[in-house]
Amino acid sequence: MKRNILSIAAMFLWAASAVANIEPVKEMNLDVNNAKMNLHMLVDPSEINVKSTQSAIITPMVITASGDTIAFQSNGIYGRRYIIHAERLGLQLPAGFISSDERKNLTIDQRLDYTAELNGAHPALKVDLYGCANCLKWTKLYEGTAWEAPTFNASEEIILEVPKANVVKEREASGRANVEFQVNRTVLLPDFRNNAKELAEVARTIESVKGDPDITITGIYVKGFASPEGSYANNTRLAKGRTQALCDWIENRYSLPHDLIHPDSEPEDWDGLIAALEADPEFPERDGLLNIARDTSLSPDARDNKMKTTYPQAYLRMLNEIYPSLRHTDYKVEYTIRSYSTAEEVMAVIEQDPSKLSASEFFLAAQSLDPSDPRYQEIIMMAAKYDPKSEAANLNAASIAIKNGDLAAADSYLAHAGKSPAAEYTRGLLAIEAEDIPAAEQHLRNALDEGYSAAGTVLEKISFLKKIKK
């Protein structure tokens, strides 16, 4: 094998004499396998038209993108009279020479070590035709298609998942109200103390959904709590009665069906007391109070009495600073949102209130845009934000994050994308980008085993790249 750097003049001669047709060359290609570049040619000697008194030297070669040439062993094609003349003169013709009368195709296969400089190289066959007295009559160059080293770009391999359509969009709005009652009473007085403000907040929560024609309320859940002081029996009565009083106020104010409102109660909010003490490490006798509050072997009344008698000063402070907040009512409005069937509808809702949309609706809107439109990716990402329970939405957001090179975000989204074959495939792409090829191969094989064919394509690509790099 010989390597030469062609001069500009020589390149000009070859270019000028190169012909468009490639009749002598039936096959010509380059490929790379196991870190070797393979040159293959199939040449029909009869197409070179070597006359009886002529000879042709054919030289297979590889021409790099920078113009360097790598020339391989040449073959000679000799005319009948040329051969006879050479024999009379006792000239030694090269081994394996070909007679111009040959009708058999010549197969050429050569190999060389692959290096990065060979990216973009192309195969070529140089033909030098000599006449009598070995005078050069012409040179022709037959060139093949350049070989481009395959590259792997995960962003070109991402596949977005179509989220499930016609999903019932269940939402909820919730809050907490500290509605106050007269001592030992269960009658709700809207103007008593701070009740006007607290009830206004309850009303705001309900009206935020009730007035929307796209929303149907499916249930209002109200749960009242009392503080631990006093008898458990009386606190049970107060919690239940005060919860029902708020339910009646909601039902009457909005003329709602009775069975739409669901009351519940908890006589004493011990969990709330414990949380309040845990949040204030400076509270007097905090550890002792917590030990008693957590002691479920004691009845509620016994716990309350033990705190009061063991730590009377701290207990009095609890009554004033913590217990009022334990007399509260938690409420939740559950509702469904109608579906939107056109991209135009969804686009309008995105502008008004994207929280009303499902992952499939965001996807519908995104598909109406060109992927090059900046809003395309924005809407795909919004689906994961506003429908975070959708595995498909998280999977698609992960794919976009991979495309944008944000591997940490992609990993975070994939944590909520489930274990579907599509999710495993995308985890494989992320692992490739993170240069963890063993992990990538495992994820991709998992996906392929589940019938996700795209994983097989990517496995082949990275396998080929590994062979090139050997």
> Distance between CA atoms of 77 and 265, rounded to whole angstroms?
103
pLDDT at residue number 156: 87
pLDDT at residue number 352: 92
Q: Domains in the chain, please, with CATH?
A: 2-143 (2.60.40), 169-335 (3.30.1330.60), 339-469 (1.25.40.10)
Tell me the torsion sign for CA atoms 26, 46, 86, 96: positive
What pLDDT, in 10s, does the model give residues 52-77? 888 899 999 999 999 999 999 998 89
> Distance between CA atoms of 188 and 469, rounded to whole angstroms?
79
Are 139 and 330 a contacting pair, CB within 8 Å? Answer: no
pLDDT at residue number 19: 35
| Distances, alpha carbon 66 to alpha carbons 60, 123, 324, in Å | 18, 14, 83
Name the pTM for this structure: 0.63
> Distance between CA atoms of 58 and 63, rounded to whole angstroms?
15
Strands (E), 338-387: none
- Report residue 212 as tokens: 């929307």
Length in residues, the chain: 470
| Distances, alpha carbon 29 to alpha carbons 19, 104, 146, 290, 296, in Å | 18, 20, 8, 81, 82
> Distance between CA atoms of 418 and 389, rounded to whole angstroms?
10
Q: Which residues of the chain have pLDDT under 50?
A: 1-21
> Distance between CA atoms of 39 and 62, rounded to whole angstroms?
8
